[in-house]
Amino acid sequence: MNDYKRITRVIQYLDNHYTEQPDLETLARHSGLSRYHFHRLFSRWAGITPKEFVQYLTLSHAKQLLRRGDSVLDTSLASGLSGPGRLHDLCVNLATASPGKVKSGGAGWTITSGFADSPFGTCLVGESPRGICHLSFVETTSRHNAKSSIQKDWPNAKIAWDNAAASRLASSLFQRNNAATQPVIRALVRGTEFQVRVWRALLDVPHGALVSYGHIADAIGSPQSARAVGTAVGANRLAYLIPCHRVIRETGVFGNYRWGAERKRAIAAWESAAGTVANDRNQ
């Protein structure tokens, strides 16, 4: 069992038992590790202790982040700025594939693709000449289907498989360092005009914040389209990079996620914990 599998087992347990404030011994038992090794693994992964992490999985904290996200995002959009904690402390240049390139199926392109480790399990990343065009989380048993998804999107492109290159790229995408130390990340999407508007609005949601589907609908000037926003969020092909995991229901419930509900909670908590630790250090 890899580290992320152990983490998800603990998160699944906490989903049902966080009100009991389970102690370290109990959490370690559910991870299959000793108290010492579990505490070290969890602290390295989350940046905080298991005890501190429990609060980031509670409904009350989700609602708190939801309110904070609305406030910060409103300010950002009203001032014409991108989110202050934009996209995991990275700057993303989001480009759209031209109709001609979509029609050609990527003819003449070489898309470098491969599997890599991430804090949230194995990921599959594909980079085209115009930027990252695929990022998904996969299970070992679904690697074949994951591979075919890139070829399906770009049927006439050459796919060059290079796990080493994918690992180097993934290591830069999942860093927690300050944006000033990071290069611009080029990302390429293909979608309808409405979908692209939704994805750009997601890039403005600050790191560690959560917003509702209705708020994204308001942000793109279409307040009655919360359901359509949900469909566009679900069509996102760039997991984590375009942060659809930051969108939850108005009630504070996290809801579904294309790459697994537990993973969505893990990413949101990981980001929230990182933001809190950073704020504490700056005070």
Question: HEC states along 77-109?
Answer: HHCCCCCCCHHHHCEEEEEECCHHHHHHCCCCC
* H or E stretch covering 118: strand 110-118
Give CA–CA dist 157/104, Å, rounded.
9
Model pTM above 0.95 = no
Query: What proportion of the chain, given as a percentage, has pLDDT over 70?
Result: 81
Q: How many domains does the chain have?
A: 1
Residue corresponding to tokens 């890899």: 2
Q: Which three-class secondary structure state does DSSP give residue 74?
A: helix
Which residues are designated catalytic?
244
257 occurs within a structural domain: no
Give CA–CA dist 18/13, Å, rounded.
8
268 occurs within a structural domain: no
27 occurs within a structural domain: no
Q: What is the mean pLDDT of residues 140-159?
A: 86
Helix 226-234, helix 193-203: angle, nearest 10: 80
Give CA–CA dist 62/56, Å, rounded.
7
Q: What is the mean pLDDT of residues 110-115?
A: 96
112 occurs within a structural domain: yes
Q: What is the pLDDT of residue 281?
A: 45
**Contact (Cβ atoms closer than 8 angstroms) between residue 156 and residue 106:** yes
**Phi-psi group of 90: left, alpha or beta (phi > 0 → left; psi -120 to 50 → alpha; rest → beta):** beta
Beta bridge partners, 127, equal 112, 132
Q: What is the mean pLDDT of residues 204-208?
A: 81
Give residue 144's domain range.
63-248
Residue with the larger pLDDT of the pair 156 and 55: 156
215 occurs within a structural domain: yes
Residue corresponding to tokens 């989001």: 94
Closest CA to 100 of 87, 112, 109: 109
122 occurs within a structural domain: yes
- Cα 246 to Cα 99, 176, 205, 282: the distances in Å are 29, 17, 7, 24
Residue corresponding to tokens 């909670």: 265
Residue corresponding to tokens 């109709």: 99
Q: Is the pLDDT of residue 164 over 60?
A: yes
Residue 194: give its domain's CATH number. 1.10.10.10
Pairing of strands 131-137, 121-128: antiparallel
197 occurs within a structural domain: yes
Secondary structure letter of residue 185 according to DSSP: E
As a whole number, the mean pLDDT across the chain is 81
pLDDT tens digit string along 45-60? Answer: 877 788 777 776 666 6
How many degrees, rounded to 5, is the angle at CA 235 between CA 234 and CA 237? Answer: 110
Lowest mean pLDDT among 72-81, 199-208, 248-257: 72-81
272 occurs within a structural domain: no
- Cα 165 to Cα 52, 116, 119: the distances in Å are 35, 9, 17
Q: Which two tokens stand for residue 141?
A: 């048993």
